[in-house]
Amino acid sequence: MPRRFRRLTTALAVAGLAALALGGQLVVNQSVATVGRNAGLHWTVFTAGYDFWPIWRDDHFFTSGQGDAHWYGAGISNAWPPPHEVLLAPFSFLSYDGAHLASALLTAALMVLVVLGWSREPEQRHRAGQSGVAWPILMSAPVFAVVWIDQLQAALGLAALSLAIWAQRRQLWWLVGIAAAVGLIRPLNAIPVLCILLLGGWGKPRQLGIAAGAGAVFMAPLLLISYLWDRNFVSDYIAGITAYPFNGTPKAVVHSIGPWGLGVLMVIGCAAALWLVRKDVGKPLDAGRAGLVLSLTVPLAPLGGLYPAIFALPALIRLGQRQRFRAVPLIASVGPWLVILLLSPWLLGSNPGLVLNFLSFIGYALVLLAYPLLRIPPGDDVARDERDPADDQVSVA
């Protein structure tokens, strides 16, 4: 295929997907605005969400010397770890609008870095093709959602856990510890990843000690400030988790078997994660299988909107790098937008709340889309029959 023709088709595809994504996002925005107006709020189709606001508010109270009686405690549904709220406290020195803009831009930047990082093909670094995997994912519904509602917490968690996996594959254990500590801002997503990082360092007590020490040193001042802000922050945080309105799989298990349901769910999730990377004991983790572990955390965490599905994107990217599955990133991007447009008669109705909630399950569909990675033997990130012999001289990144 001539290069000029290929560039033209790619440009047309990008433009078409951009138009599809814009239309789908406007439908979602209008349905959210309708829900808001039904609740007496003055929302419009252009009213962006601000999920980072609770952290900014609480940090602003403390950094301004006012304190906050509603930071954590019984009946307060704050599930973000206190040290991570301290970590993000610099945003509290900005005005409300300034913090909103800065955190939204940082969320977008983190998502671009995550997608480009996972789409990098180390065994084929001299070939073109990285952008062919990245651009559909960057226009996917979960990426649009996490930026539009400004869920910096989720973007930071995914970026940090991705960095921890990257660092483990390069034996940078001090960075593994720091990145894993930051990734705990999303505890239910992070715990299975911590398990596979531990497995990858099994039999290497010195390396694991370096990781644990670096993480502890990084977190120590954050824990100290948390203590100064709230001397009962551990028990108050537990109370905040208890009051959190879980939904999705966590809600189902808690309602079925009680408060211990979350523990059972995490045990199952960690066991599945360890099984996926069982052949990487004491070795660099297989990138594809590590991406699968991240996707596995989607049903483990509370499901609220499209943004939690960003944790499924690394696995879809790694799958899309294989010749037989080049269409997967495009399917992952186009599919959810088409579903949203097909549901637009209900989403644009007078009471779209129920249908809007059902959109969250698109995340589960994206997890299932990564299933073929389970059928591909772990080891090489790109199958040998898809590589040039010269590529074997390049170290695995």
Q: What is the pLDDT of residues 370-379, one digit of tens each?
A: 999 998 886 5
252 confidence band (pLDDT: 50, 70, 90): confident
- Look up residue 48 and give its two tokens: 């962006």
Phi–psi pair at 287, nearest 5 degrees: -65, -40
Percent of the chain whose pLDDT exceeds 90? 72
How far apart CA 320 and CA 183 sit, in angstroms, is 25
Cβ proximity of 317 and 119 under 8 Å: yes
Give residue-wise pLDDT tens across range 298-353. Answer: 999 887 889 999 999 999 999 999 989 999 999 999 999 999 999 999 999 999 99
Q: Cα Rg for the chain, rounded, in angstroms?
A: 21
Q: SS3 for 144?
A: helix
For the chain, domain boundaries:
45-334+359-383
Is pLDDT larger for residue 257 or for residue 394? 257
In single-letter form, the type of residue at position 254 comes to V
Give me the pLDDT at residue 104, please: 97
213 confidence band (pLDDT: 50, 70, 90): very high
In single-letter form, the type of residue at position 342 comes to L
74 confidence band (pLDDT: 50, 70, 90): confident
How far apart CA 190 and CA 269 sit, in angstroms, is 11
Mean of pLDDT over the chain: 89
DSSP state of 387: S
23-38 burial, b for 16+ CB within 10 Å, e for fewer?
A: ebbebbbbbbbbbeee
Cβ proximity of 320 and 329 under 8 Å: yes
DSSP state of 351: -
DSSP state of 45: T
